[in-house]
């Protein structure tokens, strides 16, 4: 459904943690476009000032530069807030294996700090970013929320623990929490740079520059690619959901999966280019196949993805063409 049809009380204040990041800035943009007040909390380590520069002149936008690892900062950020959209996190699977303490401090302690502050200030609803990584080594396909395996990375562990804390805060502390178990999100403002960048923006950047991309492994690993507009929809639906749907985690996906080779073939065709990819080593901690059953989020939250891969990737390519310097 079109998320602009979702209505909240007129003077609602939304806190978006990680609001200068990829998903967070899209949530911020959507809420401002709907006329609501938005406060962003971001330490600008993985988020970017350029992602929020266009919001600075909006009187309904407020920015706090701060870190979720600091409880006092979270407390201040949650004052007067109606809804929390918690996106702040460290998000690289390979990096999490190299830096387990950092990921634990940010993704677990930081998330509990936000939940504690939200509960203290009487926040109505809180959504938080979980991940398909929690499915680990379970081979069930498509992935259903109630069936998980052993986690394969520190990142996956942190997201699984976040879900457990969310259940506790819903059950015992009066804070309705809704887990957004993201699959492979893509779209405008997703950073193509860095060693751990997501695959779609890296591929697009390579094609724009006529450079062959590197595919980790044999390219037959599959993913459920979901466009960021549908992720925005899922979060806002959760903010409007009944208490009975709280304390749960929900697959946020398109409900269809493609191999990396298939995805790259579509991109190549759209660009009209024939650059043979380079195949590199598999990434440590990666899940082989990832596809979502989205029946639970459809039933409980009313989610209905509006972007198939063709529509979403066309919109994404257009954004990168306009915003990436060749």
**pLDDT value for 320:** 93
Confidence of residue 196 (pLDDT cuts 50, 70, 90): low
Domain presence at residue 28: yes
Residues forming the active site: 155
Domain presence at residue 193: no
Buried-exposed string 258-272: b where 16+ CB fall within 10 A, e elsewhere: bbbeebbeebbeebe
* Residues 68 and 113: beta-carbon distance below 8 Å: yes
Domain presence at residue 30: yes
- Would you give the end-to-end CA distance of the chain in angstroms? 35
Domain presence at residue 211: no
Domain presence at residue 115: yes
Average pLDDT value over all residues in the chain: 95
**pLDDT value for 197:** 73
Bridge partners, 252 (sequence order): 182
| Angle of helix 260-271 versus helix 309-323 axis, rounded to 10 | 60
Task: Report the phi/psi class of residue 129: left, alpha or beta, with left for phi > 0 and alpha for psi in -120 to 50.
Answer: beta
Confidence of residue 195 (pLDDT cuts 50, 70, 90): low
SS3 (DSSP) at 14: strand
**pLDDT value for 288:** 86
* Residues 47 and 20: beta-carbon distance below 8 Å: yes
Domain presence at residue 195: no
* Residues 160 and 148: beta-carbon distance below 8 Å: yes
H/E segment holding residue 226: strand 225-227
Q: Which whole number is the average pLDDT over 153-160?
A: 97
Residue 106 belongs to a domain with what CATH number?
3.40.50.720
Buried-exposed string 107-146: b where 16+ CB fall within 10 A, e elsewhere: bbebbbbbbbbbbebebbbbbbbbbbbbbbeeeeebbbbe
Q: What is the residue range of 31's domain?
A: 11-188+226-255+287-308
Alpha carbons 18 and 225: distance in angstroms, whole number: 21
pTM for this structure?
0.95
Domain presence at residue 116: yes
Domain presence at residue 275: no
- State percent of the chain over pLDDT 90: 90
Alpha carbons 248 and 139: distance in angstroms, whole number: 22
Q: Which whole number is the average pLDDT over 21-32?
A: 98
In this predicted structure, which of 74-83, 162-171, 239-248, 281-290 has the lowest mean pLDDT?
A: 281-290
Give the total number of structural domains in the chain.
1
Nearest to 317 by CA among 261, 266, 279: 266
Classify residue 244 by its DSSP letter. G
* Residues 301 and 141: beta-carbon distance below 8 Å: no
Q: What is the pLDDT of residues 41-89, one digit of tens each?
A: 999 998 999 999 999 999 999 999 999 999 999 999 999 999 999 999 9
- State percent of the chain over pLDDT 70: 99
* Residues 133 and 182: beta-carbon distance below 8 Å: no
Alpha carbons 233 and 210: distance in angstroms, whole number: 34
Residue 326 has pLDDT above 70, yes or no: no
Residue 252 has pLDDT above 80, yes or no: yes
């Amino acid at each position: 459904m079109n998320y602009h049809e979702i209505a909240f009380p007129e003077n609602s204040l939304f806190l978006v943690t990680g609001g200068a990041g990829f998903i967070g800035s899209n949530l911020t943009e959507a809420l401002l476009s709907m006329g609501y007040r938005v406060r962003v909390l971001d330490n600008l380590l993985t988020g970017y000032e350029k992602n929020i520069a266009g919001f600075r002149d909006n009187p309904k936008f407020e920015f706090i530069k701060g870190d979720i690892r600091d409880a006092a900062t979270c407390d201040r950020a949650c004052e007067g807030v109606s809804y929390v959209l918690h996106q702040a996190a460290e998000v690289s699977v390979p990096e999490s294996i190299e830096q387990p303490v950092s990921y634990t401090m940010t993704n677990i302690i930081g998330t509990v700090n936000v939940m504690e502050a939200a509960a203290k200030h009487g926040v109505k609803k809180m959504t938080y970013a979980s991940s398909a990584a929690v499915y680990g080594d379970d081979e069930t396909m498509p992935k259903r929320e109630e069936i998980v395996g052993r986690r394969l990375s520190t990142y996956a562990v942190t997201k699984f623990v976040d879900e457990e804390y969310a259940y506790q805060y819903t059950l015992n502390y009066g804070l309705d929490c809704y887990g957004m178990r993201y699959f492979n999100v893509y779209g405008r403002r997703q950073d193509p740079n860095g060693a751990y960048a997501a695959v779609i923006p890296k591929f697009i950047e390579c094609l724009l520059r006529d450079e062959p991309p590197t595919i980790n492994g044999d390219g037959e690993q599959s993913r459920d690619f979901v466009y960021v507009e549908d992720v925005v929809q899922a979060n806002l639906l959760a903010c409007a959901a009944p208490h009975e749907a709280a304390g749960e985690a929900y697959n946020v996906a398109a409900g269809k999966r493609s191999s990396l080779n298939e995805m790259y073939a579509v991109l190549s065709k759209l660009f009209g280019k024939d650059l043979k990819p380079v195949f590199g080593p598999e990434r440590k901690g990666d899940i082989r196949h990832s596809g979502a059953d989205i029946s639970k989020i459809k039933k409980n939250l009313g989610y209905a993805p509006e972007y198939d891969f063709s529509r979403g990737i066309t919109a994404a390519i257009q954004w990168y063409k306009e915003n990436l310097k060749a």
